[in-house]
Amino acid sequence: MSGASQVRCVLRARALNGESPVWDERSGRLFWVCLREPALHAFDPRTGEDTAWKMPAWIGCFGLTPTGAVVALRTGLFEFTLSDGSLRFLAPAPFDSRRFVFNDGGVDRQGRFWAGPMYEPLEPGDASDAPRALPFWRYDGAGKWHPGTAPVQTANSMTWSPDGRTMYHGDTSQKTIWASDYDTETGTPSNFRVFARITEGTGPDGATVDRDGFVWCAIHGAGKVVRFDPSGRVEREVRMPVQYPTMPTFGGERLRTVFVTSANHTLSEEERRQRPEEGNLFAFEAPVPGIPRADFRPPGT
């Protein structure tokens, strides 16, 4: 699989920063976010309808729940209810929200929510000499976050192996994805090692795994999605019709379709007019299915 002809556009979203696609088997919809809109979206591939819920602040990632989602906004972690569009505050962000935002994250196989940072200072900028990298955190409930990795500047590529015993996380700025042993009882990663180094484009963006434990990762700025085997070797590349794919996920019937979000915020207005595919939502068929996702479960439940 290497040609863009195998990839189809399923939604002309033209998103500034489409990210974090998650398939909801209950409704048969693909939830995703536009970080900079900011909004949570739900796309129905059967009808082509896309529903958006505007958020009051930058939304980096989320985890689905039976009634909606837990959403990581610049201002903190909130429970979002789909039926009435309400937000309930859960925890403050574990960082200075004038300097950082949440970026990549997700729910492990046991229902724990993880989220990582991105250095994105508000205007007029950041004149401090404070560190510009922070760890990925695990939400431990009661307003508490637990740091779980070494500091990263642009958190990405967070996903788990099918058995949940290997955690992957990356830093786009370091062009690296790491693997670690993951204690499924405590949610604690250990034995960190380099899984893959990305030499093309900006670096690794969002990632997911398939049933066979292969890692699929969008390579931001390089116009492709790469499938790595469990040892970190490139098994195949899927060329995308856009330069800035952001994250793949599995969905559709039997989880055999890979949906890929993309972004256009790095382009000028003229470039966006000339390249209207950038920021759209794409899909292609996978050789093996994905893994059913887990709902976020509040700690202690």
Please give the C-alpha separations between residue 283 and each of 2, 114, 221, 239, in angstroms, as whole numbers.
Answer: 14, 26, 18, 12
Return the pLDDT at 91.
97
Distance of CA 98 to CAs 8, 55, 117, 132, 238, Å? 38, 17, 12, 12, 37
The confidence band for 3, taking pLDDT boundaries of 50, 70 and 90, is: very low
CB-facing half-sphere around the CA of 259: CA atoms within 13 A: 27
Q: What integer best gives the mean pLDDT of the chain?
A: 96
Written as one letter, the residue type at 75 is T
User: Alpha-carbon distance 112 to 106, whole Å?
Assistant: 8
Q: pLDDT above 90 covers what percent of the chain?
A: 96
Residue 263 pLDDT exceeds 80: yes
User: Is 205 one of the annotated active-site residues of the chain?
Assistant: yes
Does 205 belong to an annotated binding site? yes
What's the pLDDT at 287?
Answer: 95
156 annotated binding-site participant: yes
Tell me if the domain spanning 4-285 has CATH number 2.30.30.20. no
> Active site residue: 108, 171, 205, 210, which one?
205
Give the pair of three-digit tokens for residue 237: 């590349």
Short-list 68, 71, 66, CA closest to 34: 71
Cα–Cα distance measured from residue 193 to residue 96, given in angstroms and rounded to the nearest whole number: 29
pLDDT in tens, 123-163: 999 999 999 999 999 999 999 999 999 999 999 999 999 99
* 3-class SS of residue 172: helix
Chain segment 105-126, per-residue pLDDT in tens: 999 999 999 999 999 999 999 9
Q: Which residues pair with 247 in a beta bridge?
A: 261
pLDDT at 225: 98
Domain boundaries, the chain: 4-285
| pLDDT at residue 300 in the model | 77
- Which positions ≥6 away from 155 have C-beta within 8 Å? 103, 104, 105, 115, 116, 117, 118, 136, 169, 170, 171
4 three-state secondary structure: helix
- Helix H, strand E, coil C: the string for 250-299 is EECHHHCEEEEEEECCCCCHHHHHHCCCCCCEEEEECCCCECCCCCCCCC
Q: Half-sphere exposure of 189 toward its Cβ, with a 13 Å CA cutoff?
A: 26
Instruction: Give me the sign of the Cα torsion angle 198, 16, 280, 179.
Output: positive
156-181 average pLDDT score: 98
Q: What is the structure's pLDDT at 299?
A: 86
By the 8 A CB rule, do 9 and 277 touch?
Answer: yes
